[in-house]
Structure 1
Amino acid sequence: MSEAVTRSAGAHRPAAPPGLLASLDPLLREWLPRQRWFAGKGRPVSGFSLVAATELLPADTQLGLYHLLVRAHQPLAPTQGALSHPADCYQLLIGVREALPPRLAPALIGHLKEGPLAGRTVYEALYDPRPAGVLLEALRTQARIGALRFECDRQEIRGDLVPRLVTSEQSNSSIVYGDTFILKLLRRIVPGINPDLELPLALAREGCPRVPAPAAWLLADSAGTTDAADETYVLGVLQPFVQGAADGWELALRELAKGEDFSTEARALGRATAEVHTALARALPTMTLGHTQMRLLVDGMIERLEAAAQAVPALQRYAPRLHTAFEALADLSDEGRTWIAQRIHGDLHLGQCLRSPDGAWSLIDFEGEPSKPLAERRMPQPPARDIAGMLRSFDYAALSGHPPVPGWADACRAAYCTGYAEVSGRDPRTDPVLLRAYETDKAIYEVLYEARHRPDWLPVPMAAIHRLAADDGAPEHAL
């Protein structure tokens, strides 16, 4: 394995053989839309175009491995205009074998009938330990292979760590190496600085212990792609694996099922969130949001409300009262109120938090909402946006319990804000208008998502809509 990567790094590696993507086309049209991380569900794939191709293991041997960046072309959705973003680009790792052993059956993409690899079997290579090991070895040795750059921090990475694919539902793909490191491979790729690398690196420079510091990362230079933009693609980040850590969502559900109080953990999580926000405000520029900026922010919230109300009839009767949550924020701005914006997590909820066996909380997955443009995800925003996301997550957990535990979410929400205030010196509940606006915006997003993807879950955000529509924004009603 080491020899193959070293050889690749020191010499020109061929790109994909001519005709490879054309031969993969019919297989990818069936396989790609079934993947959890495929963003274009509900619309057929009309074709593919190649952004970059790199041979990591030669296909003329027993095991071949190709790294591909591929655009999937689809007809526009009715809500997309003529100026919609270009076709989504996906990162694929394609393994090539004569036949798959039974252990790799779940990884099957299909059998090639024509093209340069006719008669061979192609599959999702991340299921296979050897291709997964090739990635780690390339990171460890800081290889450069075609358009790919494998970069490493000063942390020592052993080459004998056994890889295993994380098979739980994810919007990307992750490989754990020997319970020492975890490699997150981004699937939907855009050129530019991805916050999933940018923010953890900034936090590491600040010495913030609440986010695992990147040990290595994988990039693609646009010079080696068909993309005209002179930017770099961030493809993956290797971070220390928190062995024995509990996912915040699963931990909350377990405690809820036992009828146990979770407020102590919620308070600790509030403190951890504030530590991250404070470190980000030190590490990266902040800005003041005045009347013009707040009007744009409020207009965006109102636009999302109106679109969701059209798509989900159950929301329509609440729309006028929900509208007041946003206008109240605009009114404060009209009176001269300003807010500080900074870099934040961007998609904070219990599932983005890990508690280690010693009780310490970590925040992970700083990618933000992948459906939003990268420039928007990198914009400074009020920390209340992250806080509102976590408050909504406590509600989700509470209403997922059977039977629900009365007062459980309220206790968690209050404890979280208390913990946040203990570190930051600012209690989110003292700005109820801002917090209500962000929580309302988040609940509206949830209604639209559940109506489209999980109708059985729609009552969960609708319960919040009912509460928020009745809320006048006074401090005693903020939580």
Structure 2
Amino acid sequence: MAPANQKIKTWDETFNDESFRQGFAERILLNYMMTTRWYAAKTQKVKTIKIEQQMPFEMEGDETVYFITIEANFEAGFTEYYFIMVGLVDEDVEVDKKAVIYNLSANGVKGQVIDSLYYEPFRKALYNQILSQKPLSDDNNKLLFDRGRALRSSPPYENSRVLGFDQSNTSIEYNGQYFFKVYRRLFSDANPDLELTKFLSEEGHFNNSPRYGGSVSWVKNDFQTISLGIMQEKIENIGEAWNHTVDMIKGYFERIEATDAPIDDIQDVPSFAFVSPEELKSDFRLLIADDVLTKVEKMAQRVAEMHIALFSNRVETQFNPIPFNGDYTVWLKNRIIYQLNARFILVDENIEKLTGLAQEYAQLFVNHRADITNRFLAFEENRLNSCRIRIHGDLHLGQILMTEDDDFYIIDYEGEPESTIRDRKVKQTPLKDVAGMLRSFHYAVYAVIFDKNNKFQLSQEALFEAGEKYYRAIAAVFLNKYVTTAMSENLDIGYESEIKYLLKYHLLEKAVYEIGYELKSRPDWVIIPLTGIKQIFED
């Protein structure tokens, strides 16, 4: 209870007290963020942290939830922004343990301060606000709630739940039919995931991506729009294409062992060939399996159709196709060389921790620093006649969902996590996405080979040879279907020599990018991108 001479404050008065907010940010919010999966800077020391902006969201029953952006300045010299919706509920209200930020008892105000996404009455209010499209505003800020075509029929709220795979974002399932993805880390611009999903759904008419249902955006001072979240139609699926591809590759090695197929006799498809399934020898098709080839072709078709849709708008500056030029070349080289130098340092610092082939290939990578660098510096826009468009930017088998009828849906258009928001929106060749898919197939082959749970009888050398033949065949089938689909709709990707040049360039770029991820998160797997670099470089 508050002392007799002290006024009992409401939750609103408490939260709007400047000293409370600052202490809340410094001592409580930061500790809470450290427990979440979406806070990306756990290894960085915070210099200052504060609530940068706030907007009240009024609910029924006089409840108020505050939309807040958090500014964290780090001693390393950079700043990040995060988003959370904060509310107060009674002590006896049952909420998920992950929701409780802390237990408040001050100035007569008592209760649980929570991340309101875990509070169903708030989730319902948020859903209805998107349907109503009513903005909220104060003197300098505005919250915009947009409803897309997937919600045009205004289906009433039935139920919702926070999904358990909370990572860089938090996802809510609504009515068993929609997902609302909350962007926890914010950027000073519209999120490319929102831009591309909305465009593909409502303008590009690309059917194999989640339909756009709506969004929430924060407009600051009428000139800066920040994406807070996106509503999308739920895609019924049987899992990511990655898991199914890994299973298909295991089946290939198992059939080789079961039939004692001589690996030397397996057809060797040239790198970067364009081959239809019918052009593969019958015994090779049996080892791979015809249904696998059909699925690879279907994935290639869907990727091409996505690019055709992104190529379709010739008017809007945000999406219209543009040629290669000197400015792009400068941007590309600077970005890649910066990343490449960081990877060389990272590998050099960790090389003694690696063993066997991983250490051998890591040493080759370091030894060939000048040659690899020159490969990237040799990029010349003058030899390119194709166009650049907005692309997915981080396409791989984990970004594709497979359905029961063996179709594929492309998801998650946020772009490479290491890139700035501006870099993610730079128009590039669609073949960079194709390179991402080829790298992912190559990755899957070696993920199967290096998985200690797979008890293959073949020697590692035999697995490598068989795996490379599988990869080149799958890549050739994928490329053939992609290119024929793209060209049938006049997608400007260049002729064969230009296609192969751009593919080689971006395959190497993708493999270099992967080194950083693996060394930081699962060093045992760094052998996979190092293997890819060795083979790309030797090709």
**TM-score, structure 2 as length reference:** 0.74
Measure, in 1, the Cα distance between the counterparts of 2:528 and 2:115: 35
1:188 aligns with 185
Alignment of 1:139-150 (within 5 A): 139-146=130-137, 147-150=142-145
Alignment of 1:182-261 (within 5 A): 182-203=179-200, 204-223=202-221, 230-259=223-252, 261=289
Going from structure 1 to structure 2, the CA distance change for 1:156 and 1:137 (only over 3 Å counts) comes to same
2:122 aligns with 131
Amino acid at match of 2:300: G
1:422 aligns with 484
Measure, in 1, the Cα distance between the counterparts of 2:80 and 2:381: 39
Measure, in 2, the Cα distance between the counterparts of 1:324 and 1:221: 47
Greater Rg by CA: 2
Q: Does 1:264 align with 2:294?
A: yes
Measure, in 2, the Cα distance between the counterparts of 1:181 and 1:14: 35
Q: Does 1:340 align with 2:387?
A: yes
Q: Report SS of the residue matched to 1:303.
A: helix
What's the CA shift for 1:213? Answer: 2.7
Measure, in 2, the Cα distance between the counterparts of 1:212 and 1:235: 18
Q: Report SS of the residue matched to 1:246.
A: coil
Contact 2:55 2:68 in 1 (8 A): yes
2:255 aligns with none
Measure, in 2, the Cα distance between the counterparts of 1:156 and 1:381: 36
Q: Does 1:288 align with 2:281?
A: no
Contact 2:40 2:168 in 1 (8 A): no
2:436 aligns with 389
Deviations 1:73-125 (A, max 9, x none): 2211xxx6xxx5xx2111102242233666612333222355x6854222333
Contact 1:14 1:55 in 2 (8 A): no
Q: Report SS of the residue matched to 2:45.
A: coil
Going from structure 1 to structure 2, the CA distance change for 1:106 and 1:330 (only over 3 Å counts) comes to closer
Measure, in 2, the Cα distance between the counterparts of 1:299 and 1:420: 30
Contact 2:241 2:402 in 1 (8 A): yes
Measure, in 2, the Cα distance between the counterparts of 1:207 and 1:190: 27
1:465 aligns with 533
Q: Does 1:158 align with 2:155?
A: yes
Q: Does 1:363 align with 2:410?
A: yes
2:303 aligns with 273
Contact 2:511 2:532 in 1 (8 A): yes
1:442 aligns with 510
Contact 1:64 1:97 in 2 (8 A): no
Contact 2:386 2:494 in 1 (8 A): no
Measure, in 1, the Cα distance between the counterparts of 2:428 and 2:322: 9
After superposition, the CA RMSD in angstroms is: 3.0
Q: Report SS of the residue matched to 2:212.
A: coil
Contact 2:337 2:376 in 1 (8 A): no
What's the CA shift for 1:309? Answer: 0.4
Q: Report SS of the residue matched to 1:307.
A: helix
Going from structure 1 to structure 2, the CA distance change for 1:258 and 1:130 (only over 3 Å counts) comes to farther
Contact 1:298 1:327 in 2 (8 A): no
Pick one of 472, 475, 493 that aligns with 1:413. 475
Amino acid at match of 2:177: T
Q: Which runs of 5+ in 2 are unaligned?
A: 1-11, 253-287, 314-318, 352-361, 457-462, 488-492
1:90 aligns with 82
2:72 aligns with 72
Amino acid at match of 1:28: L
Measure, in 2, the Cα distance between the counterparts of 1:101 and 1:382: 52
What's the CA shift for 1:280? Answer: 0.7
What's the CA shift for 1:45? Answer: 2.5
Going from structure 1 to structure 2, the CA distance change for 1:120 and 1:60 (only over 3 Å counts) comes to farther
Deviations 1:331-379 (A, max 9, x none): 4628644442111011111121122333332211111124322221111
Going from structure 1 to structure 2, the CA distance change for 1:101 and 1:351 (only over 3 Å counts) comes to farther
Q: Report SS of the residue matched to 1:120.
A: strand
Q: Which runs of 5+ in 1 are unaligned?
A: 1-12, 224-228, 472-479
Going from structure 1 to structure 2, the CA distance change for 1:64 and 1:295 (only over 3 Å counts) comes to closer
Amino acid at match of 1:183: F
Measure, in 2, the Cα distance between the counterparts of 1:113 and 1:66: 18
What's the CA shift for 1:275? Answer: 0.7
Q: What is the aligned length?
A: 444
Amino acid at match of 2:336: M
Measure, in 2, the Cα distance between the counterparts of 1:451 and 1:109: 33
Contact 1:153 1:214 in 2 (8 A): yes
Alignment of 1:22-37 (within 5 A): 22-37=23-38
Amino acid at match of 2:86: I
Measure, in 2, the Cα distance between the counterparts of 1:64 and 1:100: 18
Q: Report SS of the residue matched to 2:412.
A: coil
Pick one of 165, 168, 175 that aligns with 1:168. 165
**TM-score, structure 1 as length reference:** 0.83
Q: Report SS of the residue matched to 2:392.
A: coil
Q: Report SS of the residue matched to 1:312.
A: helix
Amino acid at match of 2:56: E
2:447 aligns with 400
